[in-house]
Amino acid sequence: MFFRPKILDCFSSYNKAQFAKDVLAGLTVGIVALPLAMAFAIASGLKPEAGIFTAIIAGSLISLLGGSRVQIGGPAGAFIVIVYGIVERYGVSNLLIATALSGVFLILMGAFRLGTLVRFIPVAVIIGFTNGIAFLIGLSQIKDFFGLSIEKMPAQFFPAVRTLYQAADTVNLFALAVASGSIALIIFWKLFQDRLGYLRHLPGTVIAMVVATVITTVLELPIDAIGSRFGGIPAGLPHFEWIPMSWSTTQFMVAPALTLALLGAIESLLCARIADGFIHDRHDSNQELMAQGIANIVTPFFSGMPATGTIARTVTNVESGASTPIAGIVHALVLFIIVLFAAPLAKDIPLASLAAILMYVAWNMGEWRKFIDLKQFRLPYRITILSVFALTVVLDLTVAVEVGLLLAFITFIYRISSLSRCEIADAQAYPALANLQGRIDAYRIYGAIFFGAVKLLEKIEANLPTQTLLLDLKNVIYVDSSGMDTIAELAHLCKVRKVNFIICGLDHQPYEIAQRSGFIDQLPNDCLYPDIVSGIEAVTHS
């Protein structure tokens, strides 16, 4: 079926016990999502409510329409760098346009069944840009972590470093103490969570945020809070508001929208695959992309930000006992209730504590051990991962992915071409050749004959025999159009020089492309044989 949300397949054996577990998981994830949603929005240059609104609206839509049983959608740390850059360069109104356009691209990707293609992106590229994004998230939080007096952080790496350096003497020791205490409490909670009894169900990030808020309020510490910078969070969801669009502005949002769509697709499908491993189920990647697309089209009309599948909240959802998308819907309802009844309390949340939470998220987001273990990998892998990381940090994620894919493509071609080889068939392997010395040159080709390996045939072309050339292609698994053209050129050259040309073992894909290209029809009847033995016998009896 073209459009079939996973939730429709979850009710055939659904019972009260599963519903209770889903509700409990939804409550847990909703509490976990609260500080993260606000922190992601603030770090992206938006108001904190943008993250909460996105978690509520996009989170419910992704769970309701998605192709995974347990994936939780909402704002993600991976988007921070991209969104911040769009906001700084084009403004919030154009971010809403880019988000809606990215939703259209995601729907098209799912509709054209392109979900599986995302899996073809090499691991080195994914690790490179993931670590790069994590590094930039950490860099962006230094300002609030240390309480530096910086009016606005630049989006680019070098200007950001220069701005931080120039403001290094404006450290707020109270903010630094709150941030350091928050991250210490999060780590402590993580290490000793199993010994905390019933409290172990509470996430360390929420505990750190609550404790930091209480201490800051009671002691009246002179540090920035949500209320002092953003004026608090409105109690209730925003009203639908049409996004003003015109071609003069929308055309400049196509490239940022493609970046958001690509990153959202990668992030959500990676998250869904991780979730599959936990629950031993298989997600529908194309359905998931279409759900992500719908969510990203809808949320901008309610002042939201880009959304995707979120690994940390999805894993929390699974570990809390969730088994159906009901948990994701409950998580959105929990956030909605918190906004309705507890929004005024958010004004006292210190930004230093949220910066500490994001520092912790960035550290866990990056696969830093891969950098330590780089010496275990081949040089092309090392070059790819380090290039993508450096380009993500210094230039742009889009450029980094493009260069990374190019490097991976070149590496792949080189490796496949190196696996293809050509051997001379000798009399030891085929005794019948002993009586044909000087009359026939027989070659056995292995691997693939494609544009990166046509040099194998070009070497044969440079040393043509005087009477008969035999090619055994039994061990050739793939031939592309360039390879087929090279074989045809070799056959034509043999015809011009009056050399008998014989092909043996042409089967499966090579035979199919030979038929489609018309090469088979151009060959005389006595030139094609099923194997090398019958080809040699034909030369013997000629």
DSSP one-letter code for 434: G
Residue whose tokens read 């990374």 = 404
Average confidence (pLDDT) over 385-402: 85
Compute the chain's Rg from CA coordinates.
Answer: 30
Identify the pLDDT of residue 1: 59
What local confidence, expressed as pLDDT, does residue 100 receive? Answer: 95
**Rounded mean pLDDT of 315-344?**
89
Q: Which two tokens stand for residue 178?
A: 């709150």
**CA 457, CA 471: separation in Å to the nearest integer?**
10
Helices (H), 299-345: 311-319, 326-342
- φ, ψ of residue 458 in degrees (nearest 5): -65, -35
Among 512, 506, 523, 503, which Cα is nearest to 480's?
512
Tell me the per-residue pLDDT of 35-92, one tens digit each, with 9 for 90 and over.
Answer: 889 989 998 989 999 999 999 999 999 999 999 999 999 998 888 888 998 998 899 9
**Distance of alpha carbon 71 from alpha carbon 63, whole angstroms:** 7
Asked whether 271 and 50 are in contact (CB, 8 A), the reply is no
The distance in angstroms from the start CA to the end CA of the chain is 59
3-state secondary structure of 141: coil
Candidate CATH numbers 3.30.70.1560, 3.30.750.24, 3.40.50.2300, 2.60.40.10; the one for domain 421-540: 3.30.750.24
pTM (predicted TM-score): 0.81
Measured torsion, CA atoms of residues 332, 336, 342, 345, in degrees rounded to the nearest 10 = 70
Q: Inform me whether the pLDDT recorded for 199 exceeds 70.
A: no
CA atoms within a 13 Å half-sphere pointing along the CA-CB vector of 219: 14
In this predicted structure, what is the pLDDT of residue 198? 65
pLDDT in tens, 87-110: 988 999 999 999 999 999 999 999
| Complete DSSP assignment for 209-232 | HHHHHHHHHHHT-SS-BHHHHH--
The reported pLDDT for the residue numbered 292 is: 95
CA distance 228 to 234: 14
What is residue 437's predicted lDDT score, i.e. its pLDDT?
Answer: 74
Taking a C-beta distance cutoff of 8 angstroms, is the pair 62, 327 a contact? Answer: no
Backbone angles phi, psi at 402, to 5 degrees: -60, -45
Kindly tell me if the per-residue pLDDT of 493 is higher than 80: yes
More confident residue, 535 or 393: 393
**Residue 398 vs residue 112, higher pLDDT:** 112
Q: Residue 460 — pLDDT band, cuts 50, 70, 90?
A: confident
DSSP letter, residue 307? -
The rounded distance, in Å, linking the Cα atoms of 477 and 423 is: 16
Q: Is the pLDDT of residue 363 over 80?
A: yes
pLDDT tens digits for 124-166?
Answer: 888 888 888 889 888 988 999 999 998 888 878 899 899 999 9
Percent of the chain with pLDDT over 70: 98
User: pLDDT by residue (tens digit) across 246-292?
Assistant: 787 788 899 899 989 988 998 888 888 888 888 888 889 999 999 99
DSSP class of residue 432 equals: G
22 CB-near residues (< 8 Å, 6+ apart)? 321, 322, 323, 324, 326, 327, 330
Q: How many residues does the chain have?
A: 542
Decide the pairing of beta strands 528-529 and 73-74: unpaired
The answer to whether 429 and 452 have CB atoms below 8 angstroms apart is no
Residue with tokens 């592309």: 480
Q: Which of the residue ranges 296-310, 418-432, 446-460, 481-495 has the most confident prediction, judged by mean pLDDT? A: 296-310
Alpha carbon dihedral 404, 408, 414, 419, in 10-degree steps, equals 170
* Predicted confidence band of residue 305 (pLDDT cuts 50, 70, 90): very high
pLDDT value of position 455:
83
Give 163: exposed, middle or buried? Use CB within 10 Å, 0-12, 13-18, 19+: middle
Contacts of 211 (CB under 8 A, 6+ apart): 181, 182, 185
In the chain, CATH 3.30.750.24 sits at: 421-540
Residue 542 has pLDDT above 70, yes or no: no
pLDDT at 182 over 90: yes
The average pLDDT across 290-297 equals: 96
**Across the chain, which distance is largest between two alpha carbons, in Å?**
103
Q: Which two tokens stand for residue 332?
A: 């959105």
**Could you report the per-residue pLDDT of 430-451, keeping only the tens digit for each?**
777 767 776 788 888 888 888 8
Bridge partners, residue 73, by sequence: 309
Q: Which DSSP state fits 244?
A: P
Looking at residue 194, the DSSP 8-state letter turns out to be: G
Cα 286 from Cα 108, distance rounded (Å): 10
Residue 330 reports pLDDT greater than 90 = yes
Residue whose entry in the numeric block shows the structure tokens 């409550």: 27
Q: Report the candidate in 356, 323, 480 with the shortest Cα–Cα distance to residue 7.
A: 323
How far is the CA of 189 from the CAs of 175, 211, 213, in angstroms?
A: 21, 13, 17
- CA separation for the pair 41, 229 (Å, rounded): 13
Cβ-contact 9, 283 below 8 angstroms: no
